[in-house]
């Protein structure tokens, strides 16, 4: 079955589907406009499987375009709206995109790339002027093999890759998430995560499939306080974010001082929020359920979750696999690690939410997708109750002076300091050590935090070989469009400094390194 039809089936005609500022879009209006978008695309001669781009901020226009593309049997390709021209053009070429839905706010930016890319731009006006006279048959969908979307990864660890997401992938993962969150038509989520990111897209899929609603807010980065106000005013039942989302709320807003009577859950994924900051949220909002989740774009969105009732005794765990996802932690010989031991292995996932591989990239597909299983590259252990604990992403493990150091462990220690908003720890090339531990910190505005204080704090909780060799205080941490920290950018700062150690990157560095 076409997943767009399934997503739009549940909501009552007059019920709110999308709230964007003062605008409200009912399910009746959304269904009608999605049908129009699908017919417009098919009337343009597109055939099942053609890739159609979307270059738009979170908006009703994005949602209509996205679901319209999928309903037409075509493949939606959402773009990160701050993508560099070369990245944009590479994706257009790789995916073979000819038509691009573009929002009015961003059309001038894309227009400069249009001729080079050979694109036809489709705007809100092109949908509004289509009328109701189009009569184009919709193609039949094979949900297991037909693609609904190409979700390009952020490229935080290299060139972006298009993850092939089928209709069945979205259905399976959405049903699992709806089940464990117990979503109903009464649920309303405040969305600050971009829809081009799989976590943001999953909020759209799940809430509409449950007949609930999504509240769009694009001002979080600049005005986090207004997001909290809207969460109160719109009586949102849920809020979702990546680690930086919650770190900003904890350190740069009145988050902990406010009350949210309608709110019943938080979702957090997209990386590991340090345990001390999770504890802060739990202490401030003991009545709100906190769902810590683990996933990858290659798994559609979610692979596991930690039930809120286990946060006290299993803090630090990613939980266990979703109902439709089998998670194993296996050693290099393919055998599972022993539960309750110190053995570590790679997390391997299997289920109908595991996507079909990477677009036009058989080498990378063969590396991570083997025997219908996703090899995540994440290293973990399993406790005696079957709960999984990520030790480190293998590519983020620091090898310093013959020791293996978990960047996550060092980040957790530094995050205990109340003056810290965000922290990222990386390994940088070093002549003697192989890699030296470097810590980057964004302090609370107005803080007097110094790099010697950070090092002294680390010495209290870590052995000497895990204490950062260098600490840098930044005004801003580099993030991708989904809010994840771009560690390769931090490594570039180190590389630039090594070329000229007298020059600090003035635009980002808040004080001299220690």
Q: Tell me whether residue 512 is in a domain.
A: no
Looking at the structure, tell me whether residues 430 and 353 fall in a common domain: no
Q: What CATH number has the domain bearing residue 414?
A: 3.30.300.30
Q: What is the pLDDT of residue 270?
A: 85
Q: Residue 99: beta bridge partners?
A: 120
Q: Are 329 and 381 in contact (CB under 8 A)?
A: yes
Query: DSSP string of 440-486?
Result: EEEEPTT----HHHHHHHHHHHS-GGGS-SEEEEBSS--B-TTS-B-
**Measured distance CA(283)–CA(235) in Å, rounded:** 22
Tell me which of 314, 347, 382 is where a domain ends: 382
Looking at the structure, tell me whether residues 345 and 441 fall in a common domain: no
Q: What CATH number has the domain bearing residue 317?
A: 3.40.50.12780
Q: How far apart are the first and last CA of the chain?
A: 58
**How do strand 99-102 and strand 75-78 relate by DSSP bridges?**
unpaired
Q: Domain residues for 492?
A: 401-499
Residue length of the chain: 514
Q: Tell me whether residue 393 is in a domain.
A: no
Looking at the structure, tell me whether residues 339 and 417 fall in a common domain: no
Tell me which of 349, 382, 415 is where a domain ends: 382
Q: What is the pLDDT of residue 8?
A: 97
Q: What is the pLDDT of residue 464?
A: 87
Q: Tell me whether residue 34 is in a domain.
A: yes
Q: Tell me whether residue 48 is in a domain.
A: yes
Looking at the structure, tell me whether residues 287 and 412 fall in a common domain: no
Q: Tell me whether residue 506 is in a domain.
A: no
Looking at the structure, tell me whether residues 163 and 245 fall in a common domain: yes
Give the number of C-alpha atoms closer than 13 A to the C-alpha of residue 348, restricted to the C-beta side.
20
**Measured distance CA(510)–CA(79) in Å, rounded:** 32
Looking at the structure, tell me whether residues 337 and 484 fall in a common domain: no
Burial track 380-401 (b if 16+ CB lie within 10 A, e otherwise): bbbeeeebbebbbbeebbbebe
| Sequential pLDDT tens for the chain (514 residues) | 999 999 999 999 999 999 999 999 999 999 999 999 999 999 999 999 999 999 999 999 999 999 999 999 999 999 999 888 888 999 999 999 999 999 999 999 998 898 888 899 999 988 887 766 667 789 999 999 999 999 998 543 457 899 999 999 999 999 999 999 999 999 999 999 999 999 999 999 999 999 999 999 999 988 999 999 999 999 999 999 988 899 889 988 999 999 999 999 999 998 888 888 899 999 999 999 999 999 999 999 999 999 999 998 998 899 999 999 999 999 999 999 999 999 999 999 999 999 999 999 999 999 999 999 999 989 999 999 999 999 876 566 787 766 778 888 899 899 999 999 999 999 888 876 778 899 999 999 989 999 999 999 999 998 888 999 999 999 999 988 777 888 888 988 887 776 555 444 444 433 333 3
Q: Tell me whether residue 443 is in a domain.
A: yes
Looking at the structure, tell me whether residues 340 and 478 fall in a common domain: no
Burial track 341-360 (b if 16+ CB lie within 10 A, e otherwise): eeebbbbbbbbbbbbbbbbe
Looking at the structure, tell me whether residues 324 and 243 fall in a common domain: yes
Looking at the structure, tell me whether residues 161 and 304 fall in a common domain: yes
Looking at the structure, tell me whether residues 288 and 435 fall in a common domain: no
Tell me which of 350, 382, 414 is where a domain ends: 382
Q: What is the pLDDT of residue 128?
A: 81
CA–centroid distance for 424 within its chain: 17
Q: Are 289 and 266 in contact (CB under 8 A)?
A: yes
Q: What is the pLDDT of residue 505?
A: 44
Q: Are 161 and 152 in contact (CB under 8 A)?
A: yes
Looking at the structure, tell me whether residues 245 and 135 fall in a common domain: yes
Q: What is the pLDDT of residue 83?
A: 84
Q: Tell me whether residue 166 is in a domain.
A: yes
Q: How many domains does the chain have?
A: 2
- Output the six-digit token pair for 93: 């070429």
Q: Tell me whether residue 509 is in a domain.
A: no
- Output the six-digit token pair for 11: 């909501």
Looking at the structure, tell me whether residues 406 and 372 fall in a common domain: no
CA proximity to 140, closest of 106, 176, 167: 167
Q: Are 195 and 201 in contact (CB under 8 A)?
A: yes
Contacts of 454 (CB under 8 A, 6+ apart): 414, 417, 439, 441, 468, 471, 514
């Amino acid at each position: 079955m076409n997943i767009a039809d399934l997503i739009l089936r549940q909501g009552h005609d007059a019920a709110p589907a999308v709230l964007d500022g003062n605008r409200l879009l009912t399910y009746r209006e959304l269904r009608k406009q999605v049908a129009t978008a699908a017919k417009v695309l098919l009337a343009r001669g597109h055939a099942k499987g053609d890739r159609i781009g979307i270059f738009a901020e979170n908006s009703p226009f994005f949602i209509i375009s996205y679901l319209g593309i999928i309903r037409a049997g075509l493949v939606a390709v959402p773009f990160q709206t701050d993508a560099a021209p070369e990245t944009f053009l590479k994706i257009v070429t790789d995916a073979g995109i000819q038509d691009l839905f573009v929002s009015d706010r961003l059309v001038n930016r894309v227009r400069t790339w249009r001729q080079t890319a050979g694109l036809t731009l489709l705007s809100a006006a092109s949908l509004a002027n289509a009328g109701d006279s189009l009569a184009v048959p919709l193609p039949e969908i094979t949900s297991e093999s037909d693609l609904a979307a190409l979700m390009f990864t952020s490229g935080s660890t290299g060139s972006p890759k298009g993850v092939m997401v089928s209709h069945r992938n979205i259905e399976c993962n959405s049903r699992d998430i709806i089940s464990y969150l117990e979503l109903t038509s009464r649920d309303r989520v405040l969305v600050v995560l971009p829809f081009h990111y799989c976590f943001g897209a999953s909020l759209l899929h799940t809430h509409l499939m449950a007949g609930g609603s999504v509240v769009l807010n694009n001002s979080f980065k600049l005005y986090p306080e207004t997001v909290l106000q809207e969460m109160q005013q719109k009586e949102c039942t849920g809020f979702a974010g990546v680690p930086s989302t919650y770190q900003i709320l904890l350190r740069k807003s009145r988050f902990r001082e406010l009350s949210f009577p309608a709110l019943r859950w938080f979702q957090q994924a997209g990386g590991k929020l340090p345990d001390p900051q999770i504890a802060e949220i739990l202490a401030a909002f003991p009545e709100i359920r906190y769902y810590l989740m683990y996933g990858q774009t290659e798994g559609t969105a979610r692979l596991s979750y930690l039930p809120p009732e286990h946060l006290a005794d299993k803090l630090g765990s990613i939980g266990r696999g979703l109902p439709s996802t089998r998670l194993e932690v296996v050693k290099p010989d393919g055998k599972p690690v022993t539960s309750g031991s110190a053995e570590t292995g790679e997390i391997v996932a299997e289920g109908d939410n595991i996507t079909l591989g990477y677009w036009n990239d058989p080498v990378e597909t063969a590396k991570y997708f083997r025997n219908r299983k996703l090899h995540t590259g994440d290293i973990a252990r399993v406790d005696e109750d079957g709960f999984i604990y990520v030790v480190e992403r293998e590519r983020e493990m620091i090898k310093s002076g013959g020791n293996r150091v978990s960047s996550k462990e060092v980040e957790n220690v530094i995050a205990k300091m109340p003056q810290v908003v965000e922290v990222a720890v990386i390994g940088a090339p070093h002549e003697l050590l192989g890699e030296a531990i470097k810590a980057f910190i964004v302090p609370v505005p107005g803080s007097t935090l110094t790099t010697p204080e950070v090092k002294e704090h680390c010495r209290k909780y870590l052995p000497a070989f895990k204490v950062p060799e260098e600490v840098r205080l930044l005004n801003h941490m580099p993030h991708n469009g989904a809010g994840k920290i771009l560690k390769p950018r931090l490594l570039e700062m180190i590389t630039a400094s090594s070329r000229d150690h007298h020059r600090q990157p003035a635009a980002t560095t808040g004080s001299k390194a220690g």
